Chains A and B, each alone.
Chain A
Amino acid sequence: MTLVTPDFVEELQQYGDDTVLRCFNCGTCVAICPLINDSFPRRLIRYIQIGARDRILAGGRDLWQCLHCGLCSRTCPRQADPAEVILSLKRLVLAAWREEDTKNV
């Protein structure tokens, strides 16, 4: 079961991104990404749009595969800036991990 966090987009904005809702999931970013795997980064952008925060946190490590090369942002037809979205997610996930560590101490 996936819990939906309706205000996840607003939460993410604290970490730098405000373009994610422009994405209409065309998949250009997946086609152009040098990682060529597992619908990256479109899948994560879709998760943000539907508020699937838990799924993003569960697969958080995958974000660091992103090379931040920016080819997805250059070719995005909606200027949704996927590279910056992924960078914002890295910040959010890192903050969540650190918060968890603090709680566990």
Chain B
Amino acid sequence: MFDPKVITALLADNVRKSGNPFGLANGSINTWWKGKNLAGEGGSLLLTGLMYQMVPYINAATGLLEKYEDTPTAERIRFARWVPRFLSAAVLKMKASGEDRNSAARILEDITRILAASGVDFAYRPELDFYSGILLYDLGDLDSFITHARRVAGRLQEAGVERIITVDPHTTWALKKLYPRHAGYAPEVRTYFELADLSGSTDREVTLHDPCFYGRYLEVSQVPRTLLAGLGVRCVEVTGSGPFTTCCGGPAESVSPALALEVGKRRVTELEATGRPLVTMCPICQANLRRAGAEVMDLATLLAGIVENRRTGDSSRRTEDRGRKSEEFPSAAIE
């Protein structure tokens, strides 16, 4: 385990300087929207919170931390208060995989397709797409979280943003519950799948991994199930689901990749017991469950695939995948 004091200080410093935990310019992380011709004006603002975009850097950082955890290097960090060079923005940028970046971009593009297919009036403005600061809150650095949240809230208020569409549970929790309390900003916040109104037809079974913040803290885990049921997707449940979902282990990755992996492996065993393709709706869960050896599809990929099949009239993919492992799961038609 790394010294939480050092890790927290490093992350808080990065958020203060760059607006995200990696010390990289938001513009260099957030590139998925380019060339997509998304409307800049509209009823609700799509705010990704940069969580999906950060996955390539989270994976890179976790890989490096994993290499040094419980080694003399980790101890030097603890005693010398030495900010590790291997966690510098330049190294993380170099180590972040292009495949991870493309995967995150595809999921976000799928979300915009789902919103468009649902007739949702939304806008995307990259200059207003901020990281929420949630990691600082979770690590116990409330002062740094509040400073960042107030800065973000100020920018959103200045732009007159009153309705926000979110794409991940951590940003949703932060904007919906923490910003009103700590930043005095209370916009209407909905997740994209709460707004989804899709038509399509398939015949599949999947197992959902509910992220803790959707299942337990925000209690919205029934929403994707209802949505999927309407499209012909049955959810085969594990005991730890909905409000009693079991953690993926991801939140520990910044201080102990070993612990995150241990918890993740246990969750993968639970989930894989159903033998169905695994689906989740959180970039942190997806990344950590994948690190623990599972193939996990994002809900947006599944939904967009079904909608796209309807649009193209391609029914050939509908039934043959029941009971398959997710590596055999038909990829979304847009890929």
Q: Which residues of A contact B (CB under 8 A)?
A: 15-16, 34-35, 61, 63-65, 67-71, 74-75, 87, 89-91, 93-94, 97-98
Contact = CB atoms under 8 A, between A and B. Distances in A.
A16 B181 CA distance: 12
Contacts of A97: 5
Interface residues of B, number: 27
Choose among B4, B246, B249 the residue with the greatest number of A CB atoms under 10 Å from its CB. Answer: B4
Given A64-B139, A71-B216, A94-B141, A34 B4 contact: no
Interface in B1-32: 1, 3-5, 8
19 contacts: A34-B246, A35-B259, A35-B263, A61-B3, A64-B4, A64-B256, A65-B1, A65-B252, A67-B263, A68-B251, A74-B216, A74-B243, A74-B244, A87-B138, A90-B4, A91-B141, A93-B140, A94-B140, A94-B141
A67 B288 CA distance: 13
Given A34-B246, A61-B3, A90-B140, A67 B251 contact: yes
Contacts of B259: 35, 65
B91 to A, nearest CB: 23
A90 B139 contact: yes
Given A35-B263, A74-B216, A69 B251 contact: yes
A88 B205 CA distance: 41
Interface of B: 1, 3-5, 8, 138-142, 212, 216-217, 243-244, 246-247, 249-252, 255-256, 259, 263, 266-267
Contacts of A71: 212, 216, 244, 246-247
Given A34-B246, A70-B212, A98-B5, 20 more contacts: A34-B249, A35-B259, A61-B4, A64-B140, A64-B255, A65-B1, A65-B252, A67-B249, A67-B250, A67-B263, A68-B212, A68-B251, A69-B216, A70-B217, A71-B244, A71-B246, A74-B243, A90-B139, A91-B142, A94-B139
